[in-house]
Each structure stands twice: as structure tokens, then as C-alpha cells.
Amino acid sequence: MVNTNEEGQLMGTKKITVFSERCIAAGNCYEIAPKYFDQDPEDGTVLRLRADAEAGDESLVARAAATCPVAAIELAE
């Protein structure tokens, strides 16, 4: 049985937000965290694969967010 908070977010995880309108398909996020991000075959822009960063993956997702050249990825505090 999984624990979720009021927003339906899994406990011990952090929410990932993607602003795909900013995306210019650099692909750094896919390269760094392919478990969480992919590139749309149509135009290479970001596809978010999971809504939350699992416990232990925060720094990986944070790194993907930091290397995004247009700040299209945010990891909740």
C-alpha cells in the first residue's frame, strides 16, 4: 500500500514539473535521466516519463534540471 499526500503525490518523492513550451530539444535531460525524461520523436522536445522523483533519485533529476539550458524542468523543494 502506497502512501500519498493530499495532492495524490507519493510520499518521499518530489514533484517534477516540465515547461515544454520552453523546450528547444537539447536532450540533456534524457541523456542524464532517461528514467524520467525522453525526447518526443516528432520534434525532440521533452517528454516527462514520471510525475515524481523517487527517493534517492532527487539529485539525478536536479542535475537534469540544472543542465537544461532553458530551465524547462523544475523539481519541487
30 counts as binding another protein under rule CB under 8 A: yes
Rg (CA), the chain: 12
CA 54, CA 11: separation in Å to the nearest integer? 9
CA 36, CA 34: separation in Å to the nearest integer? 5
Instruction: Look up residue 40 and give its amino acid.
Output: D
Closer Cβ to another protein, 12 or 69, answer by number: 69
Interface residue with another protein, options 45, 47, 48, 60 (CB under 8 A): 45
Nearest distance, CB of residue 51 and another protein, angstroms: 22
Give me the residues that bind another protein (CB under 8 A), please: 24-27, 30-32, 39, 41-45, 63, 66-67, 69-71
